């Protein structure tokens, strides 16, 4: 069975402050078959969430493919994301950088759409000062792409922690695509994404 591969895409901030992270590699686990559903999703956001849920239990390994100074903390390190802890309203995606397992991306359903937040932890499990940043969808998006503009709470958090580079009209973009199960992680100062 062919392994699913990560390809460069617009992606989600894992380090919060730096710009320009890109992943490109193959997963370490074969793709699991997606569960069949009896009814079609009601909205594009429901379809997006279903596409992401179909990846539950899979993990994908990648590497930095840019030369930007902002990516130097990730360069040469093993990058691994694992789509897991999936429920009807929340998907948790741990993201590891080398031995650093402090980051988890959390996608949840809200009354108005979807929310993407970062659960960022210290090595002892306590919350990091830059914890629970992200944003909510501002429009319907598509089954393949959702954007999460950085919310005011996150901007305030970044400013309070001297991380103002992350406040520049950022958007978190998520793009589930098939047949390649996970395109993940390119960051720039003006966009953030998670892609499937």
- At 171 the pLDDT is 56
Q: In the predicted model, what is the mean pLDDT of the chain?
A: 73
- Kindly report, residue by residue over 74-101, the tens digit of the pLDDT: 888 999 999 999 999 999 999 999 999 9
- At 167 the pLDDT is 65
Task: Please say if the pLDDT value at position 65 is more than 50.
Answer: yes
- Other CB atoms closer than 10 Å to residue 36's CB: what's the count? 5
- Reported confidence tier of residue 135, pLDDT bands at 50, 70, 90: very high
**Sign of the CA dihedral 66, 69, 70, 73?**
positive
- How many residues does the structure list for the chain? 196
Average pLDDT over residues 127-141: 93
- Reported confidence tier of residue 67, pLDDT bands at 50, 70, 90: confident
Average pLDDT over residues 102-124: 95
Per-residue buried b or exposed e for 4-30, using 16+ beta carbons within 10 Å of the residue's own CB = bbbbbbbbbbbbbbbbbbbbbbebeee
DSSP string, 18-42: ----BB--B-SSPPPPPPP-SS--S
Look-up of token digits 């359903």: 109
């Amino acid at each position: 069975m062919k392994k699913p591969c990560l390809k460069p895409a617009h992606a989600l901030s894992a380090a919060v402050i730096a710009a320009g992270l890109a992943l490109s590699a193959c997963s370490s686990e074969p793709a699991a078959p997606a569960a069949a559903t009896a009814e079609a999703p009601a909205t594009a956001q429901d379809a997006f969430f279903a596409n992401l849920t179909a990846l539950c239990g899979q993990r994908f390994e990648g590497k930095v493919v840019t030369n930007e100074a902002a990516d130097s903390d990730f360069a040469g390190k093993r990058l691994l994301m694992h789509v897991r802890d999936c429920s009807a309203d929340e998907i948790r995606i741990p993201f590891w950088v080398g031995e650093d397992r402090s980051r988890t991306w959390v996608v949840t359903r809200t009354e108005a759409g979807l929310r993407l937040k970062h659960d960022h932890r210290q090595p002892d499990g306590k919350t990091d000062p830059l914890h629970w940043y992200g944003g909510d969808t501002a429009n319907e998006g598509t089954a393949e792409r959702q954007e999460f503009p950085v919310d005011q709470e996150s901007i305030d958090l970044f400013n309070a922690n001297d991380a103002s580079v992350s406040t520049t009209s950022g958007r978190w973009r998520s793009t589930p695509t098939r047949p390649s199960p996970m395109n993940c992680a390119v960051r720039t100062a003006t966009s953030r994404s998670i892609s499937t």
